[in-house]
Structure 1
Amino acid sequence: MPEGKIIKALSGFYYVLDGEEVFQCRGRGVFRKNKVTPLVGDYVVFQAENKTDGTVTEIKPRKNELIRPQISNVDQAILVFSAVEPDFSPALLDRFLVLIEDNEIEPIIVVTKLDLVTPENRTKLTQYINDYRKLGYTVLETSSVTTGGIEELVPYLEGKTSVFAGQSGVGKSSLLNAINPELALKTDDISSHLGRGKHTTRHVELIHIGSGLVADTPGFSSLEFMEMEPERLSYCFPEMHEHGEDCKFRACLHDKEPKCAVKEAVGSGEIPEYRYEHYMQFLEEIRDRKPRY
């Protein structure tokens, strides 16, 4: 039977790409029975008598899986954050980074709307960008209006499956339109009443850009660490994992333990203080979620 990759899931149908042809399929009933949901990005086996009447019969093993947005087999995550409107949020960025790091997906940070930055907020933004670059992250600065920085982003997309993710209203769809105007993805402005972005992407869909596939996903503004153990969290902060090797206790959570190398690095400025504050906030959330005996 033929094999392909799900590039869109909508209204109970799965659109499977096989070569250059797309087949509209339903999922087998056994998936529902076993509580398995085919995801965009899944490699699948299917059968189809024609392009509109197919059935997904098998889902191949996934190398990774995200819940929000629902997508699998991602090579890298393009984390899109606006400089302003809404303001750049390192706390929210760190939430995304923890989720991405936990799934062993390569993150690329893209700061958008640079055309709206004023001298007053440029200094702080530059400091954040420099901090994340020093931590080893790739950070690109772009503007969908001036198209500045777009040419730097495009090579990262070649030959890979990338998920575009970020808070609503940061300009994910505008950025994709700037890369390829033929996409004509729907965009919208920040809601003046709610003060946040309006959701313009309603479903997950993989789109061809060059030799790569890119997912434009519904925006969301919160992430929960549903399955993460406290001991795993520091692995998702690369600088803390590195300094943690020098902690006195192997299972150090960098909280109240003595002779903690991470806290010493925060005190000396090697680790940005706000990163440690976010780490402690996330650690407390995980602890509050776990039952205490």
Structure 2
Amino acid sequence: MPEGKIIKALSGFYYVLNEDGITQCRGRGVFRKNKITPLVGDEVVFQAENDIEGYILEVRDRKNELVRPPIANVDQSILVFSALEPEFSTTLLDRFLVLVEYNQIEPIICITKIDLINSEQLAKLNSYVEDYQKAGYEVIMTSSETDAGIEELFPRLDGKISVFAGQSGVGKSSLLNAIRPDLDLKTDDISSHLGRGKHTTRHVELIKVGNGLVADTPGFSSLEFTGIEVEELNYCFPEFEKASENCKFRGCQHIAEPKCAVKAGVDTGEIPKYRYKHYKEFLQEIKDRKPRY
């Protein structure tokens, strides 16, 4: 049986990219019975009725799935943040990073609009970049106006399903236009191109960029920490996870416990104070989410 990847789901039809092109498929009734909903990004086995139509017979196991947008098997997330307009926010970036880490998706931090900042602002931004690189993250500085960083980002998309995520106005559309000019996306209009405009049916679609596939989304489940437990947050901060191996107590939450290696790392400057501040805020948010009896 032929196999392929779902690149678009719309009105009960699934468009499966395979070696012969794209086949429009429906799901078998057994999926509804077993409460399985095929998602964009799924690897599937299908039966072709003819050259253009068929039925999905099996959905392969997923390595991850997101709720909003409904998409599976995401390899990496390009977290797009602007240097200016809107101003670079470590709080929002750390929130995105936690959600990406929790979903076991490889993050790449992409800072746009670097052509808009002066030398003093650049120096401040570079200090943040060094912090995130030290924590193990890849950071690419870009400008859609000057094409700076585009050649560095483009090959990172090859052979992968990538989700471009970030707040409105950071330049996701401009960035994708710079990477693939024929898309000709209007600024902040990528959602319309993907079928999520005012007069089109809401759906998710993967578009081909280079040798990879890209989806655009404003965020993950409205950026809420739904499903993340207190003891899991530590693992969403790579430098905390590494330092916590030297904490006195197993399962240390790095708040009031004695001989905490994470707090010691903050005191010595090994761990940035703002990252620790965000960790405490996120931890409290998760605790407050739990039902009180």
2:200 corresponds to which residue? Answer: none
Structure 2: which 5+ runs fail to align? 197-202
Matched residues in 2 for 1:186 and 1:211: separation? 23
2:55 corresponds to which residue? Answer: 55
- Using the TM superposition, give the Cα deviation of residue 262 of structure 1 relative to its aligned residue in structure 2, in angstroms: 0.7
2:152 corresponds to which residue? Answer: 152
Q: 1:263 to 1:48 in 2, by over 3 A?
A: same
2:126 corresponds to which residue? Answer: 126
Q: 1:47 to 1:186 in 2, by over 3 A?
A: farther
Q: Contact 1:199–1:219 at 8 Å: present in 2 too?
A: no
2:280 corresponds to which residue? Answer: 280
- Using the TM superposition, give the Cα deviation of residue 138 of structure 1 relative to its aligned residue in structure 2, in angstroms: 0.6
Q: 1:117 to 1:74 in 2, by over 3 A?
A: same
- Please state whether the residue corresponding to 1:187 is helix, strand or coil: coil
- Using the TM superposition, give the Cα deviation of residue 290 of structure 1 relative to its aligned residue in structure 2, in angstroms: 2.1
Q: Contact 1:112–1:144 at 8 Å: present in 2 too?
A: yes
Q: Which amino acid aligns with 2:13?
A: F
Q: Contact 2:42–2:73 at 8 Å: present in 1 too?
A: yes
Q: 1:32 to 1:289 in 2, by over 3 A?
A: farther
- Please state whether the residue corresponding to 1:205 is helix, strand or coil: coil
Q: Which amino acid aligns with 1:260?
A: C
- Using the TM superposition, give the Cα deviation of residue 273 of structure 1 relative to its aligned residue in structure 2, in angstroms: 0.7
Q: Which amino acid aligns with 2:68?
A: R
- Please state whether the residue corresponding to 2:81 is helix, strand or coil: strand
2:75 is equivalent to residue 75 of structure 1 = yes
- Using the TM superposition, give the Cα deviation of residue 145 of structure 1 relative to its aligned residue in structure 2, in angstroms: 1.4
- Using the TM superposition, give the Cα deviation of residue 86 of structure 1 relative to its aligned residue in structure 2, in angstroms: 1.4
Q: Contact 2:4–2:44 at 8 Å: present in 1 too?
A: yes
Q: 1:116 to 1:10 in 2, by over 3 A?
A: farther
Q: Contact 2:163–2:217 at 8 Å: present in 1 too?
A: no
Matched residues in 2 for 1:89 and 1:223: separation? 14
2:33 is equivalent to residue 37 of structure 1 = no
Comparing 28-37 with 85-94, which one deviates more in the overlay? 28-37
2:184 corresponds to which residue? Answer: 184
Comparing 71-80 with 45-54, which one deviates more in the overlay? 45-54
- 1:75-131: per-residue Cα shift (whole Å, max 9, x none)? 221111111121111111111111111222211111011122234533322221121
- Please state whether the residue corresponding to 1:31 is helix, strand or coil: helix
2:3 is equivalent to residue 3 of structure 1 = yes
Structure with higher RCO (Cα < 8 A, 6+ apart): 2
Q: Contact 1:9–1:39 at 8 Å: present in 2 too?
A: yes
1:84 corresponds to which residue? Answer: 84
Count of matched residue positions in the alignment of Structure 1 and Structure 2: 284
- Please state whether the residue corresponding to 2:217 is helix, strand or coil: coil
Matched residues in 2 for 1:106 and 1:220: separation? 15
* Cα RMSD (Å): 2.1
- Using the TM superposition, give the Cα deviation of residue 20 of structure 1 relative to its aligned residue in structure 2, in angstroms: 4.5
Q: Contact 1:114–1:143 at 8 Å: present in 2 too?
A: yes
- Please state whether the residue corresponding to 1:6 is helix, strand or coil: strand
2:217 is equivalent to residue 218 of structure 1 = yes
Matched residues in 2 for 1:100 and 1:209: separation? 21
Matched residues in 1 for 2:64 and 2:219: separation? 20
TM-score of the pair, normalised by structure 2: 0.89
Q: 1:236 to 1:84 in 2, by over 3 A?
A: same
TM-score of the pair, normalised by structure 1: 0.89
- 1:134-161: per-residue Cα shift (whole Å, max 9, x none)? 1111100001111111001112122222
- 1:20-57: per-residue Cα shift (whole Å, max 9, x none)? 41012223333334333211110012223235543222
Matched residues in 2 for 1:292 and 1:8: separation? 41
